[in-house]
Homo-oligomer: A and B are copies of this chain.
Amino acid sequence: MADPDTPFAVVDVHRTLRNIARLRDRADRLGVTLRPHVKTAKSLDVAALLHEGAPPCPVTVSTLAEAEAFADGGYTDITYAVGIAPQKLPRVIALLRRRVRLRVLLDSLEQAVSVAEAAHGAGLPLPAQIEIDCDGHRGGLTPDAPRLPEIGRVLHEAGCLDGVLTHAGESYFAHTADDRLLAARNERDTAVTAAERLRTAGLPVHTVSVGSTPTAHAAEDLTGVTELRAGNYVFFDLVMAGLGVCDLDDLALSVVVTVIGHRPEYGWILTDGGWMAMSRDRGTAAQPQDQGYGLVTDLDGTLVPGLVMTAASQEHGTLTVRDGARLPDLPVGTRLRVLPNHACATAAQHHGYHVIDSGRAAGPAPVIQAYWPRVDGW
A interface residues, Cβ below 8 angstroms from B: 2, 5-8, 39, 62-64, 82-88, 91, 107-108, 110-111, 114, 131, 133, 136, 138-139, 169, 258-263, 266, 270, 272, 275-277, 279-282, 313-316, 318, 331-333, 342, 344-345, 348-351, 376-378
* Least CB distance, A84 to chain B, in whole angstroms: 7
CB <8 Å contact, A83 and B351: no
CB <8 Å contact, B85 and A260: yes
CB <8 Å contact, A262 and B316: no
CB <8 Å contact, B261 and A108: yes
Bound Cα distance from A262 to B275, whole angstroms = 32
Beyond A62-B314, A82-B272, 19 additional pairs, beta carbon < 8 A: A2-B87, A5-B88, A6-B378, A62-B276, A82-B316, A85-B260, A85-B333, A86-B333, A87-B258, A111-B260, A111-B332, A136-B266, A138-B318, A139-B261, A277-B378, A279-B279, A280-B282, A280-B342, A348-B349
CB <8 Å contact, A62 and B315: yes
Interface of A is mostly: loop
Residues of B within 8 A of A376 (CB): 351
Residue of B5, B279, B318 near A64 (CB, 8 A) is B5
Report the copy number of this chain in the oligomer. Answer: 2
25 pairs from A and B in contact (CB 8 Å cutoff): A5-B87, A5-B91, A6-B87, A6-B378, A7-B378, A39-B315, A62-B315, A83-B260, A83-B316, A85-B272, A85-B332, A86-B332, A87-B258, A108-B261, A108-B332, A111-B261, A111-B332, A138-B270, A138-B316, A139-B316, A276-B348, A277-B378, A280-B280, A280-B282, A348-B349
Bound Cα distance from A8 to B86, whole angstroms = 16
Residues of B within 8 A of A5 (CB): 64, 85, 87-88, 91, 378
> When A and B form their complex, which 6 residue pairs have the shortest distance between CB atoms, in order from nearest?
A280-B280, A83-B260, A85-B258, A280-B281, A139-B261, A62-B315
CB <8 Å contact, B332 and A110: yes
Residues of B within 8 A of A91 (CB): 5
CB <8 Å contact, B378 and A8: yes
Residue of B110, B266, B280, B331 near A279 (CB, 8 A) is B280
Residues of B within 8 A of A258 (CB): 85, 87
CB <8 Å contact, A315 and B263: no
* Least CB distance, A266 to chain B, in whole angstroms: 7
* Least CB distance, A233 to chain B, in whole angstroms: 15
Residues of B within 8 A of A62 (CB): 276, 314-315
Bound Cα distance from A326 to B228, whole angstroms = 39
Bound Cα distance from A83 to B6, whole angstroms = 13
Bound Cα distance from A314 to B342, whole angstroms = 11
